Amino acid sequence: MMAKVTDAGTRGHGDTGTEPFHRVAASPRPRVAVLAALSVLSASFTLTTACGYSLVGRSSTLPPSIRVIRFQTLANQTQRVGVEQRLSREIARELASRGRFSVQAESAGADADLSGAVTGFSLYPVAFDTSGRAQEYQVRITARVSLKTLPEGKALWENPSYTFQENYAFSTSAASYVDRENEAIDRVAERFAESFVSSLLEGF
């Protein structure tokens, strides 16, 4: 059993309020209630752990034998030059950051091969100011990717049309459309990799 935490933007922040307070003598009864509540929470945590709950991005449905992944730069089947370089760099970094995997370009010694291509890249305005100028853009990236065992070539995971999209407000320094495309790729490459690797490891 596994609980899934949704995409970025769901992390909470602790209360850092500094309002003054007055010391009040605690009565035994509230103390007993607090201890009882803590016991319930502790039991709940134990049951949750036993059921297999885990944070998204730290679990994996891949076989334990998969430790070394061969990964080379994705092919680029779009008109946007360089998009595959940025995405591939972030994918390799994200895989390595999970702790379990090492990533290499050679097939020798690798347990699986990750390969594919960036098949789509689009950028278009979705919000405008009162003068009709674009204020917010949406970038959409599509990739065809598969993970296969080595040397057998058995498919462990594949997606012929993995799609990631995100809205963003471009900076005023992005004067040309090409500048806006470069800025879009730079902004979403890391989040694309995080989302992609989570899907790969969790079998979605």
How do the residues of the chain divide into helix, strand and coil, expressed in percent and rounded to 5?
30, 25, 40
* Domain count within the chain: 1
Under 8 Å CB-to-CB from 188, ≥6 apart: which residues? Answer: 139, 141, 164, 166, 168
Alpha helices (H) in 69-174, listed in sequence order = 83-97
- How much of the chain exceeds pLDDT 70, in percent? 67
For residue 173, give its domain range: 68-202
For the stretch 119-145, pLDDT in tens is 999 988 888 888 887 778 889 999 999
Spatial separation of the C-alpha atoms in residues 175 and 115, rounded to whole Å: 35
In a domain, 47, yes or no: no
Q: Domain containing 135 — which CATH number? A: 3.30.160.150
**pLDDT, tens only, 23-63:** 444 444 545 444 444 444 444 333 333 333 333 334 568 89
Comparison of pLDDT for 142 and 185, the residue scoring more: 142
Q: Residue 88 pLDDT > 70, yes or no?
A: yes
Report yes or no on 121 lying in a domain: yes
Give the mean pLDDT of the chain: 75
Asked whether residue 105 is assigned to any structural domain, the reply reads: yes
